[in-house]
A and B are shown apart, each in its own frame.
Chain A
Amino acid sequence: MSDDSRTAERRQFMLDAARMACGVGMLGVGLGLYAKQAKALPPAAIRPPGAGPEKDFLGACIRCGLCVRDCPYNILGLAKPEQPVATGTPYFVARTGPCEMCEDIPCVKACPTGALDHQLKDINKARMGLAVLVDKETCLNFLGLRCDVCYRVCPVIDKAITLELRHNERTGSHTVFEPVVHSDHCTGCGKCEKSCVLEVAAIKVYPIQLAKGELGSHYRIGWEEKRKAGGSLVAPDVEHKYNLPEGMRYESGKGLSPVPGGEAPASGGVDSLRVPNPGANAAPAGAGPRHIPGGGLTSRMSDEVPR
């Protein structure tokens, strides 16, 4: 073979290889970008218990569907190509069918690759997502009703969801039972979202990274540090002082009462409220608060006086 023909052959080989590399490379760029996109799991799609973060799950799950098959409640489905979840991977939607939290976790056992972590033995330790009461404007409990459905259906009742009581400012005479989700117990099963009685659920399960805030690593919570240290870390511990009207004192359960001895300015730890211009007040100087017209401060602030 002559040198020329060998050069031509080599040249042809290089060109063929370049053509192939470029063609396949184009496919690769497209598919690679699509794969990056595929990591963005829509918030409504929840992975089965034991699934790791999406970036790990999409490498570990081989899309066999055994978890789907072994789910006794048939809540899992494999994503179809047109759905915004990585093709062939399992997920469920809390609003249509939440996880029933089987104690033996058959979906995890069925997983052949460990994409659903076989270390998960206690379903209460699953973290499929985190329930968030997203809309306080429509939540019936916030409107003052005793709906409580999300609280009642929660498989980890009184731990994952508690009802926090507070005064109903609107009626002035009722209590609001605010459902509060606690991330250290919520499994993200979605039963609360499923059973929310509204047209659109006011409580929803979100991926934990969307739902959860995080303190700066340098933050310290004072009362926890104090508890850990067994005492105040600020020395000396400053005694709390009430800002009270002059000549009054406060006792827990009794409310305000005049300091014995009447006019003597309050001292010994009680800051007196000093009236800038006593002469302008209706109460003459030296008169006790009990003489103030309209019942007086004492009767109005005392716990014993009926309001």
Chain B
Amino acid sequence: MTDTESKALQAKEKAELKSASEDTKPGPTFAPSVDIFETEEALTLLADLPGVNAKDLNIDLKEGVLTLSSDAVTQEGSEEVDVFREYQTGKYYRKFNLSDVIDQSKIEAELKEGVLRLHLPKIEAAAPRKIEVKAG
């Protein structure tokens, strides 16, 4: 099923990140555009990461914080000289706080045509546990 209405795409500059901490490597860092949706079982994240291949991408999930980052990828060959430049290239970085507990062992990530699809299954709801309070 696809979107029925088909509007014209507008050019959009990549959102450059200005982080509080300084990077040791120079160059701009961009925040990739993402779609995040949730079903009963899982959280899925789609991110546009043009120019990034699987080995340059780092996905980290620690204490409920999901971090996506990639090193800068040069698209141009060394012999090439700019004629004009409308978009910049650099690193990608984005961080999310996850509100659900994710089953770390079942995370799946797929990077295809510069789009990351990250499947984050929630931990099956623990059986309700009744805590008995003993009277002392």
A interacts with B: no
**Residues in B lying within 8 Å of A, measured CB to CB:** none
